[in-house]
Amino acid sequence: MSAVAVGGALLPVRWYVVQEGTGKSAPLTTPAKGRVYSGVARLVSSMGSGNISLVEQPIIEPSRAASNDWRRSLGEAIRDPGQLLSRLGLAAPGSRLSALDPQFPLLVPESFLKRMKPGDINDPLLRQVLPLAEEDDDVPGFTIDALDEAKFRIAPGLLHKYEGRALLVLTGACAVHCRYCFRRHYPYSQEPKRLDDWEPAFAALEQDESIHEVLLSGGDPLMLTDERLSAVVRRLESIPHLRRLRWHTRLPIVLPDRVTFEWLDLLSSTRLTPIVVVHANHPRELVADCALALRQLTQSGVMTLNQAVLLRGVNDSVETLVGLSERLIDLGIKPYYLHQLDRVAGTAHFEVPEETGLSLMAELRQRLPGYAVPQYVREVPGEAFKVPLEFVVPPSGGSVTD
């Protein structure tokens, strides 16, 4: 059995072979060469012929022995585009890069970088974080606050968009800067910083008994320390009509060290039913230390969902979306939403036409069991829910019975 150091702890590993793009994998019981090659042969024959490209990924066995030293990992994140490209063996593309926005510079944790393919400027993970010159284009229809979120701010840091639910913007910080982010221009500096500053938001929640569920968002709520998160959770659970707490976070994907014992304990130690919504867009994000973190999360019994964004050059193919859903299900995560891109300034180069999205969804329905098909939705400001983009016509004009 091999071993790998994760955050200072030495953990056993098992080797898998993963097909690029789809995330299909075959377990290899030992890294001994004969077993590796027979595993590859089995996988290739199960996938049929064609140009199949394989990569090997160590998957760490689920273990409660993970480290909580995520702040060190965050401190070591890459912040310089030249350094990122050189680590991948790529020349700086010069004019192809955006004139860097100081409010939203490049930020990529080492763990995420390790899942990128060296030498490939079009790598789908790299594309999500590399600030390309297209970001600077002024494209009609793409605006600063495409979702009109300012309208729904009922107290500092508190958005109320949908019945029964409200969203706390706990922080503007993230461990990664996704170039397609719908909140990349959000005025985070106006939001509360210290715990006391949150009291008006907590008071607004107390006054509205129709709210049963609070979403913790940002930025990324897991950028707060476990101590601060604990204080927020304790305050929320003192509000009697609240029943559920939903965490929207990308950190388990990009900074897996952040799935700490303390956070897992916090999820299970509150009377508020926890739901965690992670954010992965491509099956190759869901390997190695990320797979370990997600297994720890799902094995702790917390309902875990995934939301993805349909992104040009990242996941706009049937194979990739099928691979993403299958990989999520293998890890015990329900594919929840596939979002049509929000039309936010600087993100137009990621947009996939809705007709293409609908064709992709039709193919996903052919290829996947119903539970593995995400809802394809668009957020429309002022609508009472995320608008489903698929319209299912009952066969032969009959009624839908189930």
Residues that bind ligand SF4 (CB under 6 A): 174, 176-178, 181, 183, 218-220, 250, 279
Output 17 or 216, the one with its CB closest to ligand SF4: 216
Residues 6+ apart with CB under 8 A from 143: 343, 344, 345
- Specify the amino acid at residue 260: T
| Rounded Cα distance, 100 and 376, in Å | 32
CB of 336 to ligand SF4, least distance (A): 15
Residue 25 or 249 having the CB closest to ligand SF4: 249
In angstroms, give the least distance from the CB of 243 to ligand SF4: 25
CA pair distance 250, 243, nearest whole angstrom: 23
Nearest-approach distance from CB 157 to ligand SF4, in angstroms:
15
Q: Return the number of the residue (25 or 347) whose C-beta is nearest ligand SF4.
A: 347
- Burial of residue 145 (CB within 10 Å: 0-12, 13-18, 19+) is middle
Q: How far is the CB of 191 from ligand SF4 (least distance, A)?
A: 13
Nearest distance in Å: CB 279, ligand SF4:
6
For residues 24 and 248, which CB has a smaller minimum distance to ligand SF4 in the complex? 248
Query: Residue 168 Cβ, how far from ligand SF4 at the closest point, in Å?
Result: 14
Report the distance separating Cα 113 and Cα 88, nearest Å.
Answer: 8
For ligand SF4, give the closer residue by CB, 71 or 234. Answer: 71
Which of 24/250 has CB closer to ligand SF4? Answer: 250
What residues contact residue 101 under an 8 Å CB cut-off, 6+ apart? Answer: 131, 135, 346
Distance CA 258, CA 287 (A): 16
